[in-house]
Amino acid sequence: MDLLKPLIALLAIVNPIGAVPFFLALTQGLTPEARRRTMRVSAFSAFCVIAVSGLAGLKIIEFFGISIASFQVGGGVLLLISSLHMLNAQPAESRPDDVDEGHAKADAGDSIAVVPLTIPLLTGPATISTMVIYAEKTRSLLEHAVLVGYGVVIGAATFVAFLAAGRIARVLGRTGINVMTRLMGLILAAMAVELLADGMTKLFPILASPALR
């Protein structure tokens, strides 16, 4: 197995730099500490998804009776919900007013870090499918270890990219972030529709029939 090709493919698919605007939009209501925690959780989550997908992704999906198409539809719904919040320049997560504000923001940061930042924005069906495909080509314990190493590289790249987001936020200011949040919400909604359409077409092939066009 070509050991470099999977890493290049993963970096292109995950694209941590491309997720920076979404990170800014989704974490705009968080404290600096909560935002740093979100970086760490998101980077570690990305590593976990890639490592687990490479080692046992297909078996886990099969165990729960979930297809990649169903995963796409579920991910699309999650993205669409987040995009609706972003279109109103609101954080993706909200908590009741009677909850302690500090704990609420920390919980929101953790939640955002996993969904939708890590899944499905960074490591969606395409990433999982890629890892499963390359895992099937491995022939030795060393090659399996290399797949786990890819998760370390992606996690580190995610953390570095999100770390630079703070400087971008200071340049844009509150107004700039709100404008960008709405723009990213629109783009995210389009991405959600694409995921939903692709997943629904795989689940129900008749939807792709020329007779329905």
Per-residue pLDDT tens over the stretch 58-67: 788 778 888 8
Give the whole-angstrom CA distance, residue 148 versus residue 52: 8
The answer to whether residue 3 scores a pLDDT higher than 80 is: no
**Do residues 92 and 26 lie in contact, with contact meaning Cβ atoms separated by under 8 Å?**
yes
pLDDT at 144 (0 to 100): 83
Other Cβ atoms within 10 Å of 172 Cβ, number = 15
pLDDT at 8 (0 to 100): 85
Count the residues in the chain. 213
Mean pLDDT of 102-116: 65
**Do residues 161 and 20 lie in contact, with contact meaning Cβ atoms separated by under 8 Å?**
yes
The answer to whether residue 92 scores a pLDDT higher than 70 is: no
The answer to whether residue 34 scores a pLDDT higher than 50 is: yes
Element (H, E) at 21: helix 20-26
Map out the domains of the chain as residue ranges.
Answer: 4-204
**Average pLDDT across the chain, whole number:** 80
Give the whole-angstrom CA distance, residue 155 versus residue 160: 9
Give the whole-angstrom CA distance, residue 210 versus residue 212: 5
The pTM of this model reads: 0.71
